Amino acid sequence: MRWLLCALALLAGLAQADARQPRIAVIDWGLTETLLGLGVTPIAVAQTEGYRRWVQAPELPASVIDLGLRVEPNLELLSQLKPDMILITPQFAASRPQLERIAPVHMLAIYTPEAEAYTGAQRVTRELAELLGREAQGEAMIARIDATMARVKVRLASRALPPFYVLTFLDERHVRLFGKQSIYQGVLDRVGLRNAWSGPTNYWGFSQQGIERLAEEPGAALQYGATEGY
């Protein structure tokens, strides 16, 4: 009987080990947001104060450790934390060789030349969910967001709404305008609204312009916020 109890205890321990949430460090805020949406809390994130200021939701638990700057994370601290994996985006690929000395690095890209950012965000959600064995949670999250978009589109369909500038203020004379390839463009398209900015954008879907450019669509509405700091 004792051997059976020992075997059961061993199996229970193995099951707990398999179910243990991986220790994940994240350098990018978008991946942090997606990870939290999948129900996984990272052990550490770069620039946690910036995440709490600019992203806000999902809320980042107080237990998450700050790794310092995203462009120059604290490698000594990261090594001490002994993560199982580190998540980055191509924006921070320069740090990959150093990070790989600490733990396996997974690079996931929302922004690519091949697809719009909204589609890229869905793809990354599925990639991250598969990596963590949380495919069901990933599909559920995508379905919830799609359903919300559909409901908003129905609610707005009967309203005569102006085009929207989606922007952040850089200073008193300059703005960052979001257009094609941006996440915001994907949202506007899916709820049936027109983006007032149809000009060129960069890799991340925005363009820095003088504030006078807003006069090109005098009837447009503004959706704006402060700019994030790097």
pLDDT digits 0-9 by tens, 157-176: 999 999 999 999 999 999 99
For 28, 33, 78, 192, 224, the CA distances from 63, given in Å and listed in that order, are 18, 16, 15, 40, 31
Q: Say yes or no to pLDDT of 194 above 50.
A: yes
Backbone phi and psi for residue 75, each to the nearest 5 degrees, phi listed first: -70, -35
Nearest to 182 by CA among 100, 128, 115: 115
pTM of the predicted model as reported, rounded to 2 decimal places: 0.83
Give percent of the chain with pLDDT exceeding 70. Answer: 89
Q: Say yes or no to pLDDT of 34 above 70.
A: yes
Q: Is the Cα torsion angle 158, 224, 180, 36 positive or negative in sign? A: negative
Q: Are 169 and 226 in contact (CB under 8 A)?
A: yes
What confidence score (pLDDT) does residue 150 get?
97
Residue 25 CB coordination number (10 Å):
28
CA 230, CA 19: separation in Å to the nearest integer?
36
